[in-house]
């Protein structure tokens, strides 16, 4: 019998057995039937798909493919006292904090925005109150970057998350803050954030990912969907700072329609091993996607980043800038692809991966790719891996700045090109804090 139809083995489903899935379904039984049906179908896909192998092109250089799905449990109900949550000083349009999938803080959307029809809810509430809107957008984009199995797992076990909707011609000037906390060792979490900006709407959403306690081992398989309607603008910032023992998989799907602009920035700081897949679709003329990432990798951390920019219509543009700073024995993988469909003439696409090597044991892999099927385009990419020039370090040291501090300053200098694109000062400060904290570990 071919392996694709053979019964799933415990190796391919690990802790996520049918019994575990049945237990999960009882927890979400109050949610709409269509959603439960989709989850059942997702579980079947998860169970049927093989685990990725290191020899798969989408997992080249990755140790992640060897990860085990064993030894994880679905989140236990949390005592509010255990949550250690904080909203990190984000005083925005609304704040939502979830610990082990349970809402622990819900400072709902400010009245001035609520009156205009802005929705900011937990995903469960949104499924119950705004079912059609959620159904139209939640997890409707295919997984194309190698993690089909994990994307199915995410959909099957997704319990709660955040939903942001901004109606036509509405601008929310201050950011929404969403906080996902993981508590207890061995917990498996499936956070999700869905952002829908209708025509000419403008919104900023910040996602924070943290473990309640350092040293706990967690498995996180999260996702986000960003939909920018005609002329809409979305700024999305994700700050990943899970405990150093966490295995993290995170999938992003961005859709930009006519003249829409989406900026997403992912800061990767936490986790033992983290894989991030980002898939951006430029669907109509004038669409623009700005894909940014900063990684500060230390100790034996591995960050695996896979990106896809698909230009499906003429006159679209995208810009990707992924900067990695590598210390100690850290490892990064960047594999990016720009695809220009045959009809997408006048595409302007750029993709850049810069690796700053700060240690003799660090390891950086770059696979920047292009697949171009239209001829009237401007597509370029670049990748560099190098250290800080010795003269620059010497200059700082000769002025009394210790090496570690000099490294920190130079890393901030290296990152500033990306950080500078975040207009909101609070978000800029939070990003900087997380980066700075890494140098104190």
Partner 1 sequence: MKPPSETDAVDAAVENPVAGIDQSAGNFSYDVNYEFDAGTGLTENTVRYISSVKKEADWLLEFRLKALKTFLEKPMPTHWATKDLENINFDKIRYYLSSGQKPKRTWDEVPDDIKKTFERLGIPEQERKFLAGVEAQFDSEAAYSNIKEAVAKQGVIFVNSTEGLREHPELFRKWFGKVIPTGDNKFSALNSAVFSGGSFIYVPPGVKVSHPLQAYFRINAENFGQFERTLIIADEGAEVVYMEGCTAPKFSTSTLHSAVVELVALKGAKIQYITVQNWAPNVYNLVTKRGLAMEDAEIKWIDCNIGSRLTMKYPGVVLKGERARGEVISIALANDGQHQDTGAKMIHAANNTTSNVISKSISVGQGRATYRGQVHIPKNLKGCKNNTECDALLINTNSRTDTYPAITVRGDKNATQHEASVSKVSEDMIFYMQQRGLTEAQAMSLAVNGFINDLARQFPMEYSVELKRLIDLEMEGSVG
Binding site for partner 1 (CB under 8 A): 55-57, 60-61, 342, 345, 355, 357-387
Are the CB atoms for 119 and 194 separated by under 8 Å? no
| CA 273 – CA 62 distance, rounded (Å) | 10
SS3 204: strand
Q: How far is the CB of 309 from partner 1 (least distance, A)?
A: 13
| CA 215 – CA 368 distance, rounded (Å) | 34
Please, which residue, 104 or 374, has the CB nearer to partner 1?
374
Q: How far is the CB of 393 from partner 1 (least distance, A)?
A: 11
Q: How far is the CB of 310 from partner 1 (least distance, A)?
A: 14
Record the tokens describing residue 146, joined without a space: 């190698």
Locate all alpha helices (DSSP H) within 138-212, ordered by sequence: 148-157
Q: How far is the CB of 366 from partner 1 (least distance, A)?
A: 4
Please, which residue, 79 or 375, has the CB nearer to partner 1?
375
Among 36, 31, 6, residue whose Cα is nearest residue 21: 36
The helix-helix angle for 390-397 and 403-419 (nearest 10°) equals 120
Please, which residue, 114 or 370, has the CB nearer to partner 1?
370
Please, which residue, 361 or 433, has the CB nearer to partner 1?
361
Q: How far is the CB of 411 from partner 1 (least distance, A)?
A: 13
Q: How far is the CB of 191 from partner 1 (least distance, A)?
A: 32
- For 123, half-sphere exposure in the C-beta direction (CA atoms, 13 angstrom radius) is 28
Strands 119-122, 162-166: parallel, antiparallel or unpaired by DSSP? antiparallel
Please, which residue, 116 or 329, has the CB nearer to partner 1?
329
- For 317, half-sphere exposure in the C-beta direction (CA atoms, 13 angstrom radius) is 9
Please, which residue, 112 or 371, has the CB nearer to partner 1?
371
């Amino acid at each position: 019998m071919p392996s694709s139809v053979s019964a799933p083995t415990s190796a391919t489903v690990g802790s996520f057995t049918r019994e575990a899935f049945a237990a999960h379904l009882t927890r979400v039984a109050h949610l709409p039937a269509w959603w439960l049906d989709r989850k059942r179908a997702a579980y079947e896909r998860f169970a049927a798909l093989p685990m990725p192998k290191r020899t798969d092109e989408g997992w080249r250089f990755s140790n992640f493919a060897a990860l085990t799905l064993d030894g994880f449990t679905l989140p236990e109900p949390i005592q509010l006292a255990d949550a250690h949550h904080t909203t990190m000083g984000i005083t925005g349009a609304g704040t939502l904090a979830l610990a082990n999938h349970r809402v622990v803080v819900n400072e709902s959307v400010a009245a001035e925005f609520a009156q205009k029809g802005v929705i900011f809810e937990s995903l469960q509430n949104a499924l119950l109150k705004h079912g059609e809107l959620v159904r139209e957008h939640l997890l409707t984009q295919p997984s194309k970057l190698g993690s089909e199995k994990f994307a199915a797992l995410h959909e099957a076990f997704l319990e709660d998350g955040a939903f942001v909707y901004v109606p036509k011609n509405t601008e929310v000037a201050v950011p929404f803050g969403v906080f996902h906390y993981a508590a207890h060792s061995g917990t498996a979490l499936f956070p999700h954030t869905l952002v829908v900006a209708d025509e000419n709407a403008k919104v900023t959403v910040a996602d924070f990912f943290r473990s309640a306690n350092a040293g706990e081992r967690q498995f996180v398989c999260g996702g986000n969907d960003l939909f920018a309607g005609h002329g809409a603008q979305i700024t999305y910032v994700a700050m990943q700072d899970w405990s150093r023992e966490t295995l993290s998989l995170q999938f992003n799907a961005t859709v930009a329609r006519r003249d829409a602009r989406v900026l997403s920035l992912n800061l990767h700081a936490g986790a033992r091993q983290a894989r991030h897949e980002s898939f951006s679709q430029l669907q109509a003329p004038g669409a623009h996607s700005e894909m940014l990432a900063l990684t500060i990798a230390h100790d034996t951390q591995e960050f695996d980043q896979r990106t896809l920019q698909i230009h499906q219509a003429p006159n679209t543009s995208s810009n990707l800038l992924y900067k990695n700073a590598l210390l100690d024995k850290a490892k990064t993988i960047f594999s990016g692809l720009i695809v220009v469909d045959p009809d997408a003439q006048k595409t302007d696409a750029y993709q850049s991966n810069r690796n700053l090597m700060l240690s003799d044991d660090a390891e950086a892999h770059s696979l920047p790719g292009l697949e171009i099927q239209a001829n009237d385009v401007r597509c370029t990419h670049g990748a560099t891996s190098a250290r800080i020039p010795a003269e620059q370090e010497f200059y700082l040291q000769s002025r009394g700045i210790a090496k570690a501090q000099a490294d920190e300053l130079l890393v901030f200098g290296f990152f500033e090109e990306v950080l500078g694109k975040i207009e909101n000062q609070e978000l800029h400060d939070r990003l900087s804090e997380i980066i700075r904290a890494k140098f104190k570990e």
